[in-house]
Structure 1
Amino acid sequence: MHELQQLARTVKQVQYRQHRALETGLIAVGTTLARWDALRAVDRAPGASARELAAATFQTEQAFGALAGRLVAQGLVERRAGRGRRIPHHLTPAGRRVLEAGHRVADEVLEHCYAGLPAADRADLLALLRRVLAVADA
């Protein structure tokens, strides 16, 4: 059992270091990890509701709603009239520029984070983590 705790802690340490490095790089281009992640979610699912985007970004609806409000105020996301209470979210041109700048930062940061692993090992790690998720989702 101790081995599983060590594995879980190591996964968390890698995630923490990765997030710190991403946050530092993203601040340099005028955004944060949370904002960039929200922009990615809106880009992946244009027209999605706050509920859908909250789930995609691992946030509560209330937390995502507050974040989306800041993104709207910054001119990065727009909310359009929807059907019923559903309000779809879309990137603005400014939001797309911030998203793309974030992609460039993320590519550089993540290349550095995983530099110690050859491409085949990275593919194996991804496959293993996906298997863990598949079992957890079953």
Structure 2
Amino acid sequence: MAPEPQILGRAVKQAQYRQHRALDSRLAGIGTTLAQWDALRAISRTPGATARSLAAATFQSEQAFGTLAGRLTAQGLIDRRPGHGRRIEHHLTPAGEETLRAGHRVADEVLAECFAPLSEDERTTLLGLLNRLTEEERADG
């Protein structure tokens, strides 16, 4: 018998919550948070991006991302520069690049621990299933 959708949804949420707690805890050791590291990662992928596109990439509202970008600017991790028209572009500073690299090392360790109970084949299957669930969203994005 297949699991009820609410039970399945809760299990996905529990796994995500566990990862986020572990990431946030370990990223604090390098002086950042999961939200900040995720923002640095998004800016690194698309240097010069607007707050609107970065908010979407980090699953935040524009207002929340703007507040976060203000903190990152104050910490010297990003620059916000005028672009075309009223556009404000976001770029990493050297300190932001270093924080991003340190965050990648932490994330690699934490996520390896989180997925350790699964075999390589199970991880491959899980990724394939999750990709199927988000296919439409990726096609629209």
Q: Give the TM-score band, short-chain normalised.
A: over 0.9
Residue 87 of structure 1 corresponds to 88
Alpha-carbon offset, residue 119 of structure 1: 1.4
Distance change in 2, residues 1:94/1:11 (3 Å)? same
Amino acid at match of 1:38: A
Q: How does 1:52-91 map to 2 (within 5 A)?
A: 52-91=53-92
Residue 30 of structure 2 corresponds to 29
**Secondary structure of 1:88's partner?**
strand
**Secondary structure of 1:80's partner?**
strand
Distance change in 2, residues 1:29/1:12 (3 Å)? same
Taking structure 1 as the reference length, what is the TM-score of the superposition? 0.96
Residue 110 of structure 1 corresponds to 111
Q: Which runs of 5+ in 2 are unaligned?
A: none
Alpha-carbon offset, residue 8 of structure 1: 0.2
Amino acid at match of 1:85: R
Residue 10 of structure 2 corresponds to 9
Deviations 1:1-55 (A, max 9, x none): 9611110000000000000000000000100000000000000111100000000
Q: Which runs of 5+ in 1 are unaligned?
A: none
Runs of 4+ in 1 over 4 A off after TM superposition: 135-138
Distance change in 2, residues 1:43/1:137 (3 Å)? closer
Amino acid at match of 2:104: H
Q: What is the Cα-based RMSD across aligned positions, in Å?
A: 1.4
Alpha-carbon offset, residue 120 of structure 1: 1.6
Amino acid at match of 2:52: R
Aligned-pair identity in percent equals 64
Deviations 1:65-87 (A, max 9, x none): 01001101100000112011111
